Structure 1
Amino acid sequence: MQSGTVSRVDVILEINGAERISCQLKRHLSPTTVGLITRMLPLNGNAHHMGQSVVYFETRINSGIERKRTDFKKGDIAFLPTEGSICFYMDDVFGGKLMTIVGKITGDIKKLKAIKSSDVLSLSRN
């Protein structure tokens, strides 16, 4: 399928309204959770770090876990239901928190490395 189809939703992660990173939400990975996120767009919040490998921001989304996983690859996007957070993986993580995978970063992941806790992240349709 092509990007922008029913299965894939092209989105942009913005850092402080300046830097932009292309991402895709993929419904086939977790249909209920991706549907909730898509309907709530645009979303934004302050950046937080989970160790050295994950950047995330909290949302108002209240959802259970779907197709739970603890292992994620560099570039994965996941939803952490306990905090309603959308997480962006900068490195591979094995044995982390239980999360729902919702998509993939398709742009320059290196831009995530420069994010500070005071930065504002925004996720919106492309």
Structure 2
Amino acid sequence: MSVNQSLSKQRFRVQIVKRGNVIVSIYKHLSPLTVLHLSRKMPYETHAIRQRDTIVMPLNIIVGKEKSRNAYKRGDVVYSPQEGAIVIFLKDTTPTRSYNIIGEVEEGLDLLDSIKHAESIKIERIEES
């Protein structure tokens, strides 16, 4: 990891209520405005929407396209300007729309594979000591 990545890194816990936690690293330098808006309104309570090979978590945040791209890897964490949601990819893909890349899953990706539609989700920042 480069010095820039470590300085801009924030860790978040995505709690799948009654099932376990997924740890996500978000990097400010990947999409600075998106990460700023997401960080301001922590914590979030939402639900998971399973769409093919993605998990979508609506957040009611409006941010436009920023450093978007079109190809994503398993475990990539992105923001969808079209849906106002965080999306986690469960497999490598090239979707028809572009997203703002914001980070990656560090731990618990296998737990997301078994997530069911409309499960309750809590997202909170992990304070580093």
Taking structure 2 as the reference length, the TM-score comes to 0.88
Cα pair 1:44 1:57 within 8 Å, conserved:
no
* Residues 98/119 of structure 1: CA separation in 2 closer, same or farther (3 Å cut): same
Percent identity (aligned): 23
Hey, what does 2:65 align to over in structure 1? 65
Deviation per residue, 1:5-49 (Å, 9 max, x gap) = 650111101101541111111001001101111111111211102
**Rounded Cα–Cα distance in structure 1 between residues aligned with 2:4 and 2:27:** 11
Comparing 109-118 with 15-24, greater Cα deviation is found at: 15-24
Cα pair 1:36 1:61 within 8 Å, conserved:
yes
Hey, what does 1:25 align to over in structure 2? 26
* Residues 17/34 of structure 1: CA separation in 2 closer, same or farther (3 Å cut): farther
**Rounded Cα–Cα distance in structure 2 between residues aligned with 1:105 and 1:31:** 18
Cα pair 1:71 1:96 within 8 Å, conserved:
no
Taking structure 1 as the reference length, the TM-score comes to 0.90
Task: Describe how 1:1-126 pairs up with structure 2 within 5 A.
Answer: 1=3, 6-51=7-52, 53-126=53-126
* Residues 104/118 of structure 1: CA separation in 2 closer, same or farther (3 Å cut): same
* Residues 40/6 of structure 1: CA separation in 2 closer, same or farther (3 Å cut): farther
**Rounded Cα–Cα distance in structure 2 between residues aligned with 1:97 and 1:56:** 14
**Rounded Cα–Cα distance in structure 1 between residues aligned with 2:4 and 2:44:** 24
Moved over 2 A (4+): none
What is the Cα-based RMSD across aligned positions, in Å? Answer: 1.7
Deviation per residue, 1:46-84 (Å, 9 max, x gap) = 110221x10011111111010111211111100001110
Q: How many pairs are equivalent?
A: 124
The secondary structure found in structure 2 opposite 1:32 is helix
**Rounded Cα–Cα distance in structure 2 between residues aligned with 1:113 and 1:92:** 13
Cα pair 1:76 1:105 within 8 Å, conserved:
yes
